[in-house]
Structure 1
């Protein structure tokens, strides 16, 4: 199935940082969140149902990552699915950029209690 192959390809690049890794730098940490958000929005823009994206990402995520993955999926699927390749590419890039900017602007030293920021809701400016 084409959809399953696409989700598996996304999961292969799934690389969110461990929350307990205090040696990771800010740009790398936020970049990994952005890459994950981009993969989720690629699934959204490709027409993969939200429940299927949630199942695949939850299977790959560790317990520390599940909340942020859920937040990313809810945020991505609240946004409009675009028509045309250019619109889809823009939506994907914008979503990844939103997550990166928010993470960088709300940076905190990562530790077990750190809750990373989530992508803006679709209706926020």
Structure 2
């Protein structure tokens, strides 16, 4: 994944977040207003979509992945750890119900993706 190299994040982490957030559905929309593969809240991050033509670009996979990966990278850097960064990306307080479940799902998904890559002879 080109984006993973650009933001220096593990590609399986980005894929795991997409799988957890949207079930890999580029048209996904949440009740909270999150959109696309990475479930980016365009009402919060509308400025980040300007280079791609505005908030409707949230439904363009490449734009959504690029913006979501940048947000994820910033969350991890700000939080100081991957787990806390994922909690921040989710947008919920750490004590909120389901936050631990979310990070656990992302970690499990990432491990499964790594296992598949190994079985197929790839490296991640």
Q: More helix by proportion, 1 or 2?
A: 2
TM-score by length of structure 1 reads: 0.29
TM-score by length of structure 2 reads: 0.29
Instruction: Flag the structure with more relative contact order, 1 or 2, with Cα contacts below 8 A and sequence separation at least 6.
Output: 1
